[in-house]
Every structure is written in structure tokens, then in C-alpha cells.
């Protein structure tokens, strides 16, 4: 492919490839909520112990995130993504052979995230941020449409496979989908040309989301400088508390709906519809992040998410039919859109060749929050018999995440970011 067309045409092919990658990865991850119900019924495991598998998964993902960032900077996506897809396929195939809870902890909780961390939104966002420095929010949002489709379709796909062929063959089906869809596509990815990865000064001055970085883009960040800065830890906190909030419903939503009398098929459709509705919300938040500002767009996304959680607080067997529809419409508009803003913000602040390492370290918070949230929710359900305490806790965590996002900009306005880098 001629080098001349890379900045204009090739980068859109990269976006399509990243769209498929993040879609398959997100779909496989959200499918845990469907397997969660089936495996509890099959083996008689408790809510906390079964959700604990996903917690271990997220902890391992947190530990792997810095290594994935290093590999992305060192070897590039062309080597990293196909190998990760093969590893994910093997891990899912091994999940189909489990007989005990410790085996599930090993195959799903430990082996699967080793490969799957490389296919998550973090490395995908780094690749897109480098190819689209002039429209990071919109590019990540466009690719994130794949995540919405994967999150919407894979619960239905998994439920169909489980009902038709059994949960063991369902794991095999997921494994085949990852290997066939991700590995071939990512084999042809090329490195981003150096001249493409920088935002022209004129563009920065005209973009509200990037205006605060004008005049501060000459010296790339080092990892040491980043971890000593307040923006690093505020973005870390944003991801930590947002995942403490969001992963509760990601894992437990189907079980919550079943607990109030919603039929299994209808619950799986509701989980899928939440993510399909998020298509519009992701695009809107990505556009707002580029034109209105990162913090403003993030606040709008989380307020919508909190409203959706509040709606769930009033669900019962008598009103479940219309409350579920209202919840899907409100919560779906915000689901997943916060991550678009966080990734865009990190690329704005920590520009340079070490963005993969820096953002990989930040995304450890995603794994930590995702590990604690589902386990804590399962623990509360086992002891209270209700999802209300978990939903209230989720809303509190979302409000803390909003506060952290606004604090990311504070040292930049005061000039302390420049001092931290000296």
C-alpha cells in the first residue's frame, strides 16, 4: 500500500479492524453474565464464589495491563493482537472442559485475561489515538460501535448456544469466533507514520478538548514523569471508580432481572438491547468529547448512567415489563461511553511514544475496579437477598468517578503539569 494514502485511507481501515477487535472482545467478556446463571444452576455454586471468577479475571487483567502497554509500544499491534486472539481462543476452549470451581478459576479467571487484555479498549484506543490525533473522541467512539454490537449480540448468541448445544459447546463457539474474526484482520496492521501521530498546533487551538495542551506538545512524557503527576492519578481514580460502578451491572444484570421474575430469554434480550441502544450514546459522547470538552461529556454520560440505576431501584415483579424498557432506554444511552472520554483524555495529556506504557499502567485501575465490583455485589446479594445495596453503591462510585475526571484538568490550568515534567 503506497505510503501516500496511509494518512487518509488506510487509517479508516485500521478503525474498522479495531471496531471488530473490540466488538468481539467486549462480547466475549459480557457473555460471562449469561454463563454465570447457567453455571450456578449446573454446579450449585454461590453468587459470590461464581462472581469471584470474574473478579480474578479482572485482577489478572489489571496485572497484565502494563505489560500489554509495553508490548504495544515495543512490538506494535500487528504482532500483539493476532497472538492474543489465539491465546483467548485456547483459553475459552479449555473453559468448556471444567468440572470444578477451581478449574473455572484457572481457565477463565487466570488464563483468559492474559490474552484478552491485549484486545481491550485500552490498547485499541492507543492505536486509534495515534492514527486520529485530530479527532480522537470521534474515532474511538466509531470503533466503540463494535463494542456496542458485541455487547448486544454476544449475550443472545451465548444464550442460543447454551440452550441449543449446552454451555460446553457454547464456550467452543465463542473461542472459534475470536480466532476467526480477530486474528486474520489484525495480521496486516501497519505502524502509524510519525507525521500522522501529532496534532497540528492550529487544530489544537480550535478544539475545546485539546486547547489546554497548546504549547505543551514538544516534549513527550516519560513513564516516570507521568506517575508523578496528578492527572495520572486522577485518570487512575476515574477508571477505578467507574469500573467499580459499571461492572456490577455488567455481571449481575441478568441475574437481577431473573430475581424479579423476568424470563431467561427476555432477560438475555434486555442485556443485549442495553448494549445495542448504547450505539447512539457512544457516538454522541464521542462527538461531544471533541466539541464540548472531555470532562463535560463524561459528566453527561455518568449522570445518564446513574439515572438508569435509579430506575432499577424501583423494579418489581409487578412492574418489571415497563421498568426494563425504561431502564434499557436510559441506561443504554450511557453504557460504555465513559471509556471513550477517558481514553481520549489520556491521549491528550500523555502524548508521545510511551502512551501505550502510560495508559497501560492507568488501566490497571479498570481491572481492580472490575474485580472488586462484581464480587462485592455478589457478597451483598448472598447476605441481603437484594440487589438494592449494590445498585446504591454503584451510584456512589459513579459520582466519585465524575469528580476525579474534573480534577484531571486542575493542575494543567495551574501550570503544575509543566513543573512535574521538569
Inside any domain, residue 214? no
pLDDT digits (tens, 9 = 90+) for 394-422: 899 999 999 999 998 775 444 444 444 44
Inside any domain, residue 376? yes
Asked if pLDDT for residue 352 goes beyond 80, the answer is no
Question: How many angstroms separate the CA atoms of 172 and 53, rounded?
Answer: 19
Predicted confidence at residue 285, as pLDDT, reads 84
Counting residues of the chain whose pLDDT is more than 90, the rounded percentage is: 21
pLDDT digits (tens, 9 = 90+) for 354-408: 788 888 888 888 778 877 777 777 777 778 878 888 888 889 999 999 999 999 8
Inside any domain, residue 207? no
Predicted confidence at residue 413, as pLDDT, reads 45
Question: How many angstroms separate the CA atoms of 53 and 104, rounded?
Answer: 7
- Domain extent for 374: 14-189+221-420
Contacts of 345 (CB under 8 A, 6+ apart): 235, 294, 298, 405, 408
Q: pTM here?
A: 0.70
Rg over alpha carbons for the chain, rounded to the nearest Å, is: 21
> Which of 7-11, 91-95, 118-122, 207-211 is predicted with the least confidence, judged by mean pLDDT?
207-211
Question: How many angstroms separate the CA atoms of 123 and 293, rounded?
Answer: 22
Structural domain count of the chain: 1
**Torsion-angle region of 398 (φ positive above 0: left; ψ -120 to 50: alpha; else: beta):** alpha
Q: What is the arithmetic mean of pLDDT over 9-18?
A: 88
Inside any domain, residue 1? no
Give the CATH number, domain containing residue 113.
1.20.1250.20
Inside any domain, residue 119? yes
Decide: 265 and 159 in contact? Cβ < 8 Å.
yes
Predicted confidence at residue 307, as pLDDT, reads 92
Inside any domain, residue 210? no
Asked if pLDDT for residue 233 goes beyond 90, the answer is yes
Task: Calculate the CA dihedral of residues 116, 117, 123, 125 and round it to 10 degrees.
Answer: 80
Predicted confidence at residue 193, as pLDDT, reads 66
Inside any domain, residue 8? no
B/e letters for 269-283, b = 16+ CB within 10 Å, e = fewer, are bbbbbbbbbbbebbb
Range list of H helices, 187-263: 201-206, 223-227, 230-259
Inside any domain, residue 182? yes
Amino acid at each position: 500500500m503506497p505510503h501516500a494514502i496511509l494518512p487518509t485511507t488506510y487509517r479508516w481501515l485500521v478503525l474498522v479492524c479495531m471496531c471488530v477487535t473490540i466488538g468481539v472482545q467486549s462480547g466475549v467478556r459480557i457473555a460471562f453474565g449469561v454463563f454465570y446463571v447457567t453455571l450456578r444452576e449446573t454446579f450449585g455454586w454461590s453468587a459470590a464464589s461464581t462472581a469471584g471468577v470474574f473478579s480474578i479475571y479482572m485482577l489478572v487483567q489489571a496485572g497484565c495491563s502494563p505489560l500489554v502497554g509495553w508490548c504495544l509500544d515495543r512490538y506494535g499491534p500487528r504482532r500483539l493482537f493476532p497472538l492474543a486472539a489465539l491465546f483467548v481462543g485456547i483459553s475459552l476452549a479449555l473453559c468448556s472442559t471444567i468440572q470444578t470451581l477451581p478449574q473455572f478459576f484457572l481457565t477463565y479467571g487466570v488464563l483468559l485475561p492474559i490474552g484478552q487484555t491485549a484486545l481491550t479498549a485500552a490498547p485499541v484506543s492507543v492505536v486509534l489515538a495515534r492514527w486520529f490525533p485530530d479527532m480522537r473522541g470521534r474515532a474511538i467512539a466509531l470503533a466503540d460501535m463494535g463494542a456496542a454490537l458485541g455487547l448486544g449480540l454476544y449475550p443472545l448468541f451465548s444464550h442460543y448456544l447454551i440452550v441449543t448445544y449446552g454451555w460446553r459447546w457454547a464456550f467452543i463457539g465463542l473461542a472459534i469466533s475470536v480466532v476467526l474474526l480477530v486474528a486474520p484482520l489484525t495480521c496486516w496492521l501497519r505502524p502509524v507514520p510519525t507525521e500522522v501521530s501529532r496534532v497540528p498546533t492550529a487544530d489544537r487551538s480550535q478544539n475545546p478538548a485539546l486547547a489546554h495542551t497548546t504549547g505543551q506538545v514538544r516534549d513527550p512524557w516519560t513513564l516516570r514523569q507521568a506517575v508523578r503527576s496528578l492527572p495520572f492519578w486522577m485518570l487512575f481514580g476515574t477508571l477505578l471508580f467507574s469500573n467499580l460502578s459499571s461492572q456490577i451491572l455488567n455481571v449481575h444484570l441478568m441475574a437481577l432481572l431473573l430475581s424479579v421474575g423476568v424470563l431467561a430469554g427476555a432477560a438475555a434480550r434486555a442485556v443485549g438491547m442495553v448494549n445495542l441502544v448504547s450505539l447512539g450514546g457512544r457516538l454522541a459522547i464521542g462527538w461531544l468529547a471533541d466539541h464540548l470538552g472531555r470532562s463535560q461529556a463524561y459528566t453527561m454520560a455518568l449522570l445518564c448512567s446513574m439515572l438508569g440505576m435509579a430506575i432499577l431501584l424501583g423494579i418489581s415483579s409487578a412492574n418489571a415489563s415497563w421498568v426494563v424498557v425504561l431502564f434499557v432506554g436510559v441506561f443504554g444511552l450511557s453504557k460504555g461511553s465513559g471509556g471513550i472520554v477517558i481514553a481520549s483524555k489520556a491521549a491528550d495529556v500523555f502524548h508521545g511514544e510511551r502512551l501505550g506504557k502510560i495508559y497501560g499502567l492507568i488501566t490497571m485501575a479498570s481491572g481492580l475496579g472490575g474485580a472488586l465490583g462484581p464480587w462485592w455485589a455478589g457478597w451483598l446479594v448472598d447476605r441481603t437477598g437484594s440487589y438494592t445495596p449494590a445498585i446504591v453503591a454503584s451510584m456512589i462510585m459513579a459520582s466519585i468517578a465524575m469528580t476525579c475526571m474534573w480534577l484531571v484538568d486542575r493542575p494543567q490550568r495551574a501550570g503544575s503539569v509543566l513543573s512535574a515534567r521538569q
